[in-house]
Amino acid sequence: MKYPTPQTLENVAQIINAQYVGDPNFEVLGQNEIHVVEPGDIVFVDHPKYYDKALESAATIVLINKEVECPEGKALLISDDPFRDFNKLTKHFNPFIASSAHIDDSAIIGEGTVIQPGVVVGPNVTIGKDCIIHANAVINYNCIIGNEVIIHSNVVVGGEAFYYKRRPEGYDKLLSGGRVVLEDQVELGAGTTIDRGVSGDTTIKKGSKIDNLCHIGHDTIIGENCLFAAHTGVAGCTVVGNDVTMWGRVGVTSGITIGDKAVILACSCISKSLEGNKTYFGTPAEEARGKWRELAAIRQLPDALQKLKSL
């Protein structure tokens, strides 16, 4: 998430009432999660286990809950609660925008696009040419829809991320300041939900087709020409390559990468990164041929045990 205008380290520190280490005029351009940070971004870290990862990341400003040695060329924001203060910055620079009508006056809708009854199009949404948005779909604020996109009924584009911190009094929500970007010729089946990024974009690239009742988590990137069957769920911060097929009820954990042209067979669960150009099956998913051999061997176990008893 980039700020509307560049900020200084001192200005940002004042917004969250934090101490800082570095030049007061050090440039701050935005904030992001660690896997997508760039120079000029703030990244937050509140656990010693991840201090080094944050300090060594591409981010040049680290929002941290302990004063540590500041790496050369970077700056620190010292906070007793970085999670809370990351949320403060999201609220300040990219607050929630309430809709004023079913189709907000600020929305831009391209020529030839059909909007069916009951659709909600939020503030600052851009929809391209020749799209079809079916009844009761919701496209929340700041989202971007390309050309020739089909969105079926009861789809939600731009819901908030499922991202919480456990505290003694309950769960604390990490606010979502990112967007959803659907590129040209994407199709979303009825009841599917696409969460916006926490601070970046959740992106579904050109030509990908997603069936009914699927879910794509925050900050995930789905490549071009992918095909996902019904009830597939992909957790946040996952990168899926081009031409990937996932059949029904596939579940994918967060923060992994799936290579180009991988095929995931139905009811499989993906718990780690997978290479492309292979077919996978099972829980946890492994190459299908090997998994089938395992299952065949398991089916033979009763006969083998019976033979052993008879010896």
Show which residues are catalytic.
Answer: 218
Q: Which residues of 136-157 are buried (b: 16+ CB within 10 A; e: fewer)?
A: bbbbbbbbbbbbbbbbbbbbbb
The SS3 of residue 300 is: helix
86: which 2 tokens? 């990351």
Beta strands 150-151 and 132-133 are: parallel
Distance CA 37, CA 59 (A): 5
Whether the CB-CB separation of 21 and 46 falls below 8 Å is answered with: no
Hey, how many other C-beta atoms are within 10 angstroms of the C-beta on 135? 13
> Could you identify the residue written with the tokens 């059909």?
114
Which residue, chain included where needed, has tokens 């809370």? 84
Going by C-alpha positions, the residue among 231, 222, 228, 221 that lies closest to residue 200 is 221
- β-strand 164-167 against 170-173: which pairing, if any? antiparallel
